[in-house]
Amino acid sequence: MAPHRLMIAFCFCVIAAGANSASIHTQDEHIVVASEQHKVRRSIDTSTDRPYDPIKLTEMRVRSEVALRYARTSVITHVINPDMRPQEASFHMLLPDTAFISGFTMITDGKSYKAYVKEKQEAKQMYTQAVSQGSGAAHIATKARDSNHFTVSVNVEGNTTAVFDLRYEDFLVSRNGLYSHIINLHPGALVPTMEVVVHIKESQKITKLHVPEVRTGNEIEAKQNDAQNSKVVIQNGTNENEVTITFTPDLAEQRRLAKIYRDKSQLGSSSTALGQFVVEYDVERSNNGEILLNDGYFVHFLAPTSLPPLSKHVVFVLDTSYSMYGGKIEQLRKAMDVILSDLHPNDYFNIVEFNSVIKIYELKDDESLYTHTSSASAVPPAPASAANIAKAKVIASRLNISGATNINDALEAALSLVKKSVEQKNEKIDTENDNEPAEIKIQMEPIIIFLTDGEPNVGQSDPNQIISHITKMNSGEIRAALYSLAFGDNADRTFLRKLSLRNEGFMRHIYMAADAALQLQDFYRQVSSPLLANVKFQYPKNQVKEESVSLHNFRTINAGSEVAVVGQLADDVTEITPRIVGFSGIENEVGWNRYEVAPEVVVNSTKDEHMPLERLWAYLTIKQLLDKRAADGDHSTDENSPEKKALAIALKYSFVTPLTSLVVVKPNETYSVDVEPAEATSTPAWVSPSQSAAPPVWSAPADWGYGANRRGGWFQRNLIGNGQHNRNTVYYGGSDNDDYGISSLLYAYPPKYTNSFRFNPARRITAYRPFTSVPATITTTSTSTQTPTTASNVNYHLEGFEWTSSMLNSSTGALTVLGENGTQVILQLATDVDPPKADAGDKECSKSTFAVGANENVGRVCVYLTRCYAARTITSDDYQKSYCIVNNRYAGVCCPRDDVDRKP
């Protein structure tokens, strides 16, 4: 009989809780279960029916490498099943909503299972098949803003350890002048060993570093005056560009943090979530930007700091429909009071209130203070003088609810105000460059701040029609940047996101919480000080691959923010000479100045492993293609469509996106036995029939008996004697409602043998599937040479190095890796308790060797595996990159000096 490939029953789930990025996900899009096998059911020892010893989480290690604002994070957890029977273990992780999962590996039952990325429809077919066969996915109740949930469940053999290694990547965006790297610590239990290491290596001097106390994840952001986390250790690098932050909370500290989280989040006493570990930092920068080159890729950063802000015309469009009842309208009043105070003296503004009707407020000098009208042509923009701001605050304080939600007419009114302002106050100047328009109207930057908590239900209520109409109206030389604020959970975020992307802005979700007013204020500060307008990054065509360059035209660049352009260099280019053009403000005046910089950078052929420019290029390109797909509504599969391009890059770089999903296949293993010989030897055959082939037909051997019991039936296979409960008798039973008859092991000697297979006694066996280990008395044929973790632990003292099981050749007592020329390298393991050491002492690793551990500040030496503490949490793939040879014989690893001979 031909061998058949088995797919393991693992359940993957990524669920969005935020909606602020290109990667807006839905549960349906991101739950993936790849399986051709039933979910394992627990076996019960019916002689005692004793409770299970619960699964224990023993270790959690988080490593983040941050370079050029690009963070690559690995989360490694160890869980142990202390019971002799298999149990299901679940691994949960809360990811930033802008992050892409880039890798996942599990080590269970002594074998390593590595995930790979597939196109979503293909993966979804696997999921549908798995669900139909009884597999499921779990959710977690912990919530945090702007985060996605990742959940995986797997059956863990008795008395064994499972290791999960999740990797994800994220680009840190500067907000209000700081980059924030956030790690969610929600392990689901208190962890005896927990360690978080964040290593930052930037191209410029790190000017600010702040590590606040662990937060719940529902605050706006860490503040500079927040208390520094007293439990962290900060180690500076060899220069001011590098720093390592280490956080190792013991059980007492974890209990303290969990209590704070419970109290602030109003969760039950059983919650063990600790919160968010936050690292904030900034780097030295200039108004001319920075260009970095590496291995054929470039990144061009620009974050101006010392420029005067542009004058702006802000139109506030505020929803006061009935759905804003209660806390929402009060929070809006509070937020507007602060936001109005943040207007600059050279700014202008309007206030538009909308529900079923539209109100445009006109500030007055008499005692009435203001009046309102629905005619935009009659209301000029108000200068942001102290007197006008005071009047506007009175308007905000009197906002009240009424009616439904007329979004289309409200935005029409806002754009009419913008157009009228342009006609009245802006001037024209000629431009000199052929790449710019012949003339451009300048004076004030128009911005629309649009807040709603509902869906359009008065007037034009079709979101697509509204988007088309407003986008057409907001056209011409001067377009208003439209920023949408989705207040609460009832706002149509998909509609608002598309509306903003089509109109030079973006959407943010304002969470309905006690600090909603602070959220509104925080958002406004991010867009309230534009420093540059109409910014164009221009690259000579002979220096870059034109199609590879990411978004390089920007409506505005705001104070405290940063833009990044990435691309690929042309072949054999020796220098790159881009040009940035745009307009800046005039100090204490209304108007614009020309802005232009033209840096020159020599292309160096040296490759720097610490500059992940290729992956940064892939990440940003996918994000921007997904934004374009959402804005244009283009879901075509044409080769040049945004979706097709994004999918190709995601598959190449193994990113989990809205277009791709994770799949895990049991690696390189087959269970296959010829049916006839198996029957002849009176042992059951473990068969996994392919979908295309008809199921094999098999009758029970003559010495198998059938009877009835409370579970519907049982089959007895008495290997020694007849009908007696001796050590070699195995009973299989099926439930009353099980169409296949036999489904789980009810009684077995010895107890550690736990197996299941599908069997209908009346219809003969149609399929056999081992869910865990196969008893020694049952003969199988397997292409796998892997041995259980327990064997390697005992023989080679590799406790804590479970990943080695996937590389171990038990017949030779060695690990097998691939050398540089593709040949196999045999690395011997030691059976002595004392690990071998190099005769001439520990030697430095070569510079080309990949090393384990996150600390780059210490030297690396080649030592035997078990002498390196950091090697416990790596994967077999990591070892392939970091192995070395001790005494020309033994399995070594390139290890940080401070991890050598370190004890757990």
What pLDDT score was predicted for residue 811? 67
658 in a structural domain: no
Kindly state the average pLDDT of the residues 741-758. 30
Residue in this structure with the two tokens 């080649």, named with its chain if needed: 862
Torsion sign, CA atoms 26, 61, 232, 610: negative
616 in a structural domain: no
- Which band of pLDDT confidence, cut at 50, 70 and 90, is reported for residue 24? very low
CATH of residue 519's domain is 3.40.50.410
Higher-confidence residue of 46 and 130: namely 130
- Which band of pLDDT confidence, cut at 50, 70 and 90, is reported for residue 425? low
What pLDDT score was predicted for residue 63? 94
DSSP string, 807-876: TEETTTTEEEEE-TTS-EEEEEPP-SSSPP--TT-PEEPPTTS---SS--SS-EEEEEGGGBGGGGG--H
> For the chain, what's the residue count?
904
302 in a structural domain: yes
For residue range 441-459, what is the model confidence (pLDDT) as tens digits? Answer: 457 889 999 999 888 988 8
688 and 706 co-located in one domain: yes
| Cα 805 to Cα 813: distance, rounded to the nearest angstrom | 11
- Which band of pLDDT confidence, cut at 50, 70 and 90, is reported for residue 371? confident
- Which band of pLDDT confidence, cut at 50, 70 and 90, is reported for residue 788? very low
pLDDT at 773 over 70: no
Higher-confidence residue of 147 and 212: namely 212
| Cα 10 to Cα 89: distance, rounded to the nearest angstrom | 11
Q: How buried is 497 (Cβ within 10 angstroms: 0-12 exposed, 13-18 middle, 19+ buried)?
A: buried
Q: Which of 718, 749, 779 is the last residue of a domain?
A: 779
The tally of domains found in the chain comes to 5
For residue range 517-528, what is the model confidence (pLDDT) as tens digits? Answer: 888 888 888 888
CATH of residue 253's domain is 2.60.40
222 and 360 co-located in one domain: no
Kindly calculate the radius of gyration of the chain based on its CA atoms and give it in whole angstroms. 32
204 and 77 co-located in one domain: yes
155 and 279 co-located in one domain: yes
642 in a structural domain: no
Task: Find the range with the poorest average confidence among 346-355, 419-428, 445-454, 792-801.
Answer: 419-428
Higher-confidence residue of 854 and 871: namely 871
473 in a structural domain: yes
Helices then strands (H, E): number in the chain?
A: 14, 47
DSSP string, 138-200: -------TTEEEEEEEEEE-TTEEEEEEEEEEEEPPEETTEEEEEEEE--SS--SEEEEEEEE
Q: Name residue 404's amino acid.
A: A
**In this structure, what token pair is assigned to residue 51?**
């409770």
Could you tell me the residue range of the domain that residue 17 belongs to?
Answer: 10-41+52-283
800 in a structural domain: yes
What pLDDT score was predicted for residue 291? 93
| Cα 307 to Cα 596: distance, rounded to the nearest angstrom | 13
Which residues, in sequence order, are bridge partners of residue 868?
900
pLDDT at 550 over 70: yes
3 state DSSP class of 788: coil
What pLDDT score was predicted for residue 691? 27
Kindly state the average pLDDT of the residues 186-202. 92
ω before 750 within 30° of 0 (cis)?
yes
Higher-confidence residue of 73 and 793: namely 73
Kindly state the average pLDDT of the residues 843-848. 72
Higher-confidence residue of 382 and 88: namely 382
- Which band of pLDDT confidence, cut at 50, 70 and 90, is reported for residue 225? low
Percent of the chain at pLDDT > 90 equals: 32
Q: Which of 761, 779, 797 is the last residue of a domain?
A: 779
252 in a structural domain: yes
Kindly state the average pLDDT of the residues 190-196. 93
617 in a structural domain: no
| Cβ pair 353, 449 in contact under 8 A | no
**In this structure, what token pair is assigned to residue 243?**
């720093």
Kindly state the average pLDDT of the residues 351-370. 85
What pLDDT score was predicted for residue 740? 31
- Which band of pLDDT confidence, cut at 50, 70 and 90, is reported for residue 277? very high
For residue range 614-637, what is the model confidence (pLDDT) as tens digits? Answer: 999 999 999 999 988 888 776 677
What pLDDT score was predicted for residue 144? 62
Q: Which of 568, 502, 512, 558 is nearest to 533 (CA)?
A: 558
**In this structure, what token pair is assigned to residue 17?**
């809780």
Higher-confidence residue of 779 and 163: namely 163
139 and 110 co-located in one domain: yes
pLDDT at 131 over 80: no
Residue in this structure with the two tokens 């074998």, named with its chain if needed: 111
What pLDDT score was predicted for residue 270? 66
Cα 826-828-830 angle, rounded to 5 deg: 170
| Cα 11 to Cα 265: distance, rounded to the nearest angstrom | 28
**Helix, strand, coil percent content, the chain, rounded in steps of 5:** 20, 35, 45
Higher-confidence residue of 441 and 598: namely 598
437 and 463 co-located in one domain: yes
What pLDDT score was predicted for residue 218? 60
519 and 562 co-located in one domain: no
pLDDT at 219 over 90: no
Q: Name residue 657's amino acid.
A: T
- Which band of pLDDT confidence, cut at 50, 70 and 90, is reported for residue 587? confident
Kindly state the average pLDDT of the residues 837-859. 73
Mean of all residue pLDDT scores within the chain: 74
pLDDT at 254 over 80: yes
- Which band of pLDDT confidence, cut at 50, 70 and 90, is reported for residue 607? confident
344 and 438 co-located in one domain: yes
Query: In Å, what is the CA distance from 83 to each residue of 49, 164, 242, 668, 730?
Result: 13, 19, 45, 28, 20
Higher-confidence residue of 540 and 677: namely 540
300 and 432 co-located in one domain: no
747 and 856 co-located in one domain: no
How far is CA 425 from its chain centroid?
46
Q: Which of 576, 606, 636 is the last residue of a domain?
A: 606
What pLDDT score was predicted for residue 374? 73
DSSP string, 96-149: ETT-EEEEEEEEETTEEEEEEEEEHHHHHHHHHHHHHTT----------TTEEE
| Cα 208 to Cα 234: distance, rounded to the nearest angstrom | 13
Q: How buried is 680 (Cβ within 10 angstroms: 0-12 exposed, 13-18 middle, 19+ buried)?
A: exposed
- Which band of pLDDT confidence, cut at 50, 70 and 90, is reported for residue 126? low
Q: Which of 660, 693, 482 is nearest to 1 (CA)?
A: 693
452 and 505 co-located in one domain: yes
61 and 160 co-located in one domain: yes
| Cα 137 to Cα 115: distance, rounded to the nearest angstrom | 16
